[in-house]
Amino acid sequence: MAKHSNKLVSLLVGASVAASLTHAADGELQKVMKARGLSEIDVVRAAKTYNPSGGRDEFVVFSSAGQAGQMIVYGVPSMRILKYIGVFTPEPWQGYGFDEESKKVLRQGNIRGREINWGDTHHPALSEKDGKYDGKWLAINDKANPRIAIIDLADFETKQIVVNPVFKSAHGGAFFTQNSDYIIEACQYAAPFDDNYHPIEDYKEVYRGGATMWRFDTKKGRIDTKESFTIEMPPYMQDLSDSGKGVSDGWGFTNSFNSEMYTGGIEVGMPPNEAGMSRNDTDFLHVYNWKKLAELAKDPKNVKVVNNHRIVPMEVAVKHDALFLIPEPKSPHGVDVSPDGEYITVCGKLDTHASVYKWSKIKELIKNKDYAGKDPYGIPILDMKKSLHGQAELGLGPLHNQYSNVDGEIYTSLYVDSQIVKWNYKTLKVLDKVNVHYNVGHLCGMEGKSADPQGKYIISLNKLAIDRFQNVGPLHPQNHQLIDISGKKMDLLVDMPLPLGEPHQAVAIRAEKLHGHVRYTMGTNSREDKIHEGKTLAGQERVERDGNKVKVYATMVRSHINPERITVNKGDEVTFYITNLERAQDEAHGFTVDHYNIHASLEPGKTSSIKFIADIEGVFPYYCTEFCSALHLEMMGYLMVKDPNKKYESTQKKKMQTMSPEQLKAEYDKTVATNAATDAVIQSVVKFLKENKYEKHKVVADLVTDAMDQYGKIAEEKKKSDAALKAGDMEKAILFENMIWQYMVKTADVGIRAKDALVRLVATKQSAAAAAGEKAFGEGGCGGCHVIGKVSSGPDLTGVLQRHGENSEKWVKDFIMNPEKMYTEPYVKGMIDYFNLRMPNQHMDEAETKNIIEYLKWVDQNANLF
């Protein structure tokens, strides 16, 4: 036994938990711990993050994927990745950027006519109602090409991309205001608002920063660009922002890091930007009344228009007391408003302090026009000391903050120290620190920036992983670390390598707030939330030709694409409209035509289109790219592109061997008989499901719906088969009977899954020993010969514990452990003769054997279910 008398153990889990764990660790757990070199605290941490198969997480995290231009979705506490979402970058799995509908979204992100196929995503934001996450919309910014994208959390698809018309880069977004009326996006590198050349010498006069207030329609889930406007700001290099909430609702806060207005010039012998931009002791926190500015912007007198976009000039904002500056320690990074909106914490990455500003003090100074001075642009400066609640000495390189459910509790990342520090922004006391690996940037609390933080966990989004994972080459995975914050001391639970980077920030939401759909209304254009013009139902499949434009209206359903053969002329413009007719959960199909660089993902009910010029001659298979059923490989067809100017010699048709009428009749009868037998199995499952009231269990009812969808298609095929038979086309009748069998297999497949699920739901609860026994039964290979409830290559084991008299249990135990010794017993001998098989010794130990017997008891208790 590996004894780890670790001080940390008693400290973190308490002596009693550790003791009971030691106790539980007798046996198998002990063995595993020893084999894998795990300490007791490791096992506790594993248990805190482990999800059994089928288990769900309490929180869902949306992480930016940095230069990958995507979003990453994962669960907490398991840290299992659930999805990547294509946002600014094409993502072929989802057909994103490869089908026409998603290309339209991606192309909304063109800048000045130029296609841009990547993004530098930094800050995701979840839509809010009263400052709390409502689980409806997700926004994310692109720093490199200043854009904001909107993702719908009903289907996790990107629906809109808007380009900032005046900024040339943008970092301080996306941040929703507390009722999602606006999304804040602050500039980063100051540049001229117009698209012209302006020499760098004109920096102070012409280059500008600012904050764009994107108007958001919470019902439609779209940004309304016409109703949006930008607040002009000095060229101070605005950085992160946050929206006020609660008492500070209506206001915005944006950091900056170049109040020096330095513009570099290494090449002409000037010190580099890093020196010039961090010369002053302080930079400026911008404080602006966006609500008032939104009102002002309605009057054309108060705005100037650049690139069709309204800008509220600094003079106007100043004149109406809507823009202020407060000094903050130099080159800060994060600014984070507390859940009630009263405290605003700014981290100066070059300063060891966090500065906590107090909204009521700021408000008072503004009200009294108590200014410490003005900046070169005439913006009033509030006194730093008078605005501050206080400062706390945290450590080296404080960057970002998150809140927990405990009043006053705040967590801050320390980039240089590679630590997370827990402290109190009211008392300004440091409470705890934990090491992370390495150089943490953002951190993510559970709803940790909303008005209702949930506590429990903090995720450390580290910039470097260095030695934490298997070496996969010089480009390392990213490292997200999950920290348990429910105790007095923080406890680092687990590392998660992330294979996309660099994920600057992540936001977490309670899983129960998300209500993703499982299917679309039939024929939906998912990117526009409306019925697709190319929607095609079963029976409506067709090819339409108009000059050199060919439109194919196709459907996909297990396991065929209709139509299956399409011939076009070289040079034709070909559009496929494809509808997935499935309603069954998870029955997505994919579609591609080889060599034409197109791909669509068709989830149940979706219609997508793909379009290309058939400019190369030849034969091009098209097929389904998702392994959707046993006959997935058969889910294909041919696009044949012929050159209208060429003459093609027809090859002599080879005479195919045909069957005699008698042979055909025999095959037909056999197929019909197989179908009847399969239907009997289906009917027995249906009977079982009905008797056990399947409709009471949603999971099972959903599966039954899927199964009946398949079964419902049989009547139509039967009609076709009968018609063919009547017309004397036996060959065709057989093919339709085969199609019937396909639908039956699909029905049975889902039906049996439903039955298994129902058995689990209505059976008596398994004891731990019985569950372990079932596992041993499965893993030990017993199921190879014994099927519960059925005689297969070995006897049915229901009732085995009653079959051998009073000492049945002992008999079964002996037989499992030493079958060879009993081969000559008359009963066993009889069985060996009957099955022509001997029960082999599977080398089960005593404990496993005991558990298997417990499992068999459970089987007997529920014998009526098998």
Tokens of 702: 């959903």
Nearer to ligand CUA by C-beta: 88 or 520? 520
**Shortest separation between residue 413's beta carbon and ligand K7E, angstroms:** 8
Q: Where are the alpha helices (DSSP H) in 297-442?
A: 314-319, 359-367, 384-387
Select from 589, 713, 746, 755 the one that contacts ligand CUA (CB under 6 A). Answer: 589
Nearest to 636 by CA among 592, 598, 572: 592
What's phi and psi for 256, nearest 5 deg? -155, 165
Nearer to ligand K7E by C-beta: 122 or 456? 122
Q: CA–CA separation, 445 vs 126, rounded Å? A: 13
**Shortest separation between residue 100's beta carbon and ligand CUA, angstroms:** 20
Task: Tell me which stretch binds ligand CUA (CB under 6 A): 232-240, 619-627, 737-745, 796-804.
Answer: 619-627
* Residues found near ligand K7E in the complex (CB under 6 A): 122-123, 171, 240, 333, 399-400, 441-442, 504-505
76 binds, among ligand CUA, ligand K7E, none (CB under 5 to 8 A by kind): none
Confirm or reject binding of residue 624 to ligand CUA (CB under 6 A): yes
Confirm or reject binding of residue 581 to ligand CUA (CB under 6 A): no
DSSP string covering 432-460, please?
EEEE-SS-EEEEEEBTTTSSS---SEEEE
441 binds, among ligand K7E, ligand CUA, none (CB under 5 to 8 A by kind): ligand K7E
**Shortest separation between residue 175's beta carbon and ligand K7E, angstroms:** 11
**Shortest separation between residue 555's beta carbon and ligand K7E, angstroms:** 45
Nearer to ligand CUA by C-beta: 99 or 328? 99
Nearer to ligand K7E by C-beta: 125 or 550? 125
730-762 helix and 714-726 helix, angle to the nearest 10 degrees: 160
Nearer to ligand K7E by C-beta: 136 or 333? 333
Confirm or reject binding of residue 746 to ligand CUA (CB under 6 A): no
Task: Tell me which stretch binds ligand CUA (CB under 6 A): 19-27, 312-320, 620-628, 848-856.
Answer: 620-628
**Shortest separation between residue 122's beta carbon and ligand CUA, angstroms:** 37
Confirm or reject binding of residue 245 to ligand CUA (CB under 6 A): no
Nearest to 97 by CA among 79, 122, 78, 119: 119
Confirm or reject binding of residue 626 to ligand CUA (CB under 6 A): yes
Q: CA–CA separation, 227 vs 229, rounded Å? A: 7
Element (H, E) at 285: strand 282-289
Select from 204, 510, 632, 804 the one that contacts ligand CUA (CB under 6 A). Answer: 632
Degrees, nearest 5: CA angle 340-344-345: 125
Confirm or reject binding of residue 603 to ligand CUA (CB under 6 A): no
Tokens of 479: 């490292």
**Shortest separation between residue 154's beta carbon and ligand CUA, angstroms:** 24
Contact yes or no for 755/689 (Cβ under 8 A) = yes
CB atoms within 10 A of CB 533: 10
Q: CA–CA separation, 854 vs 842, rounded Å? A: 18
What's phi and psi for 282, nearest 5 deg? -130, 155
Confirm or reject binding of residue 602 to ligand CUA (CB under 6 A): no
333 binds, among ligand K7E, ligand CUA, none (CB under 5 to 8 A by kind): ligand K7E
Distances (CA, A) of 844 to 780, 793, 815, 829: 8, 20, 11, 22
**Shortest separation between residue 94's beta carbon and ligand CUA, angstroms:** 16
Distances (CA, A) of 295 to 286, 300, 372, 484: 19, 11, 28, 44
Nearer to ligand CUA by C-beta: 294 or 624? 624
Confirm or reject binding of residue 583 to ligand CUA (CB under 6 A): no
Q: Using CB positions, name the residue nearest to ligand K7E.
A: 441
349 binds, among ligand CUA, ligand K7E, none (CB under 5 to 8 A by kind): none
DSSP string covering 16-51, please?
HHHHHHHHHTTTHHHHHHHHHT--HHHHHHHHHH--
624 binds, among ligand CUA, ligand K7E, none (CB under 5 to 8 A by kind): ligand CUA
Tokens of 99: 């089908």
CB atoms within 10 A of CB 569: 16
Confirm or reject binding of residue 584 to ligand CUA (CB under 6 A): no
Confirm or reject binding of residue 365 to ligand CUA (CB under 6 A): no
Confirm or reject binding of residue 600 to ligand CUA (CB under 6 A): no
Q: CA–CA separation, 841 vs 819, rounded Å? A: 6
Task: Tell me which stretch binds ligand CUA (CB under 6 A): 285-293, 628-636, 682-690, 821-829.
Answer: 628-636
Nearer to ligand K7E by C-beta: 336 or 603? 336
63 binds, among ligand K7E, ligand CUA, none (CB under 5 to 8 A by kind): none
Nearer to ligand CUA by C-beta: 491 or 626? 626
DSSP string covering 182-246, please?
EEEEEE-S-B-SSSS---GGGHHHH-BEEEEEEEEETTTTEEEEEEEEEEEE-SS-EEEEEE--G
Nearer to ligand K7E by C-beta: 259 or 505? 505
Contact yes or no for 72/63 (Cβ under 8 A) = yes
**Shortest separation between residue 114's beta carbon and ligand CUA, angstroms:** 36
Confirm or reject binding of residue 628 to ligand CUA (CB under 6 A): yes
**Shortest separation between residue 347's beta carbon and ligand K7E, angstroms:** 9
DSSP state at residue 297: T
Listed in sequence order, the residues at least 6 apart from 319 whose beta carbon sits closer than 8 Å to its beta carbon are none
Nearest to 478 by CA among 150, 50, 74: 74
589 binds, among ligand CUA, ligand K7E, none (CB under 5 to 8 A by kind): ligand CUA
Tokens of 24: 């539980």
Nearer to ligand K7E by C-beta: 254 or 609? 254
Nearer to ligand K7E by C-beta: 258 or 302? 258
289 binds, among ligand CUA, ligand K7E, none (CB under 5 to 8 A by kind): none
**Shortest separation between residue 633's beta carbon and ligand CUA, angstroms:** 8
Element (H, E) at 848: helix 846-861
With the C-alpha atoms ordered 778, 780, 785, 791, is the resulting torsion angle positive or negative? negative
**Shortest separation between residue 28's beta carbon and ligand CUA, angstroms:** 40
**Shortest separation between residue 752's beta carbon and ligand K7E, angstroms:** 50
Contact yes or no for 260/352 (Cβ under 8 A) = no
Q: Which residues contribute to the site for ligand CUA (CB under 6 A)?
A: 589, 624, 626-628, 632, 635
